[in-house]
Amino acid sequence: MFTALSQAEEVDGAIQSFARQGYGDSLHPIVVNVTDLAEKLRQMQAATGMGRLRLEHIHDYEALGVGLRGGAVGRDVDAGDGGDGCGAGRYRAVCRG
């Protein structure tokens, strides 16, 4: 899952959209498969398919019970993760684990 910000009150694919008080924009939580995340982020960057969205945060897939091995999302390299970029930490880069 990731959250994105936009001027639109609602966007396709959002679980539910929330107006952010004092900001004049809305927050949109969007659930995607790990393998589809990179493509969704590219769509956001190109402002196609999903409209004009800004990435707010990529949430921890392991906390949601979804494993990373075989997925397309990577993480910061933390001690004890084997140095492959797929260990504990926040998501930052693409991983081919």
**Model pLDDT for residues 8-45, shown as the tens digit of each residue:** 888 888 899 999 999 999 999 999 988 888 888 888 77
Averaged pLDDT, 52-71: 65
The domain of 88 spans 67-97
Question: Are both 48 and 76 inside the same structural domain?
Answer: no
Percent of the chain whose pLDDT exceeds 70: 57
Residues 40 and 10 in one domain: yes
Pairing mode, strands 18-20 and 54-58 = unpaired
pLDDT for position 18: 94
Residue 77 pLDDT more than 60?
Answer: no
Instruction: Answer yes or no: do 54 and 93 share one domain.
Output: no
pLDDT band at 76 (very low <50, low <70, confident <90, very high): very low
Domain count, the chain: 2
Q: What pTM was estimated for this model as a whole?
A: 0.57
> 50 pLDDT band (50/70/90 cuts)?
low
The per-residue b/e assignment along 19-52, b for 16 or more CB within 10 angstroms, e otherwise, is eeeeeeebbbbbebebeebeebbeebeeeeebbe
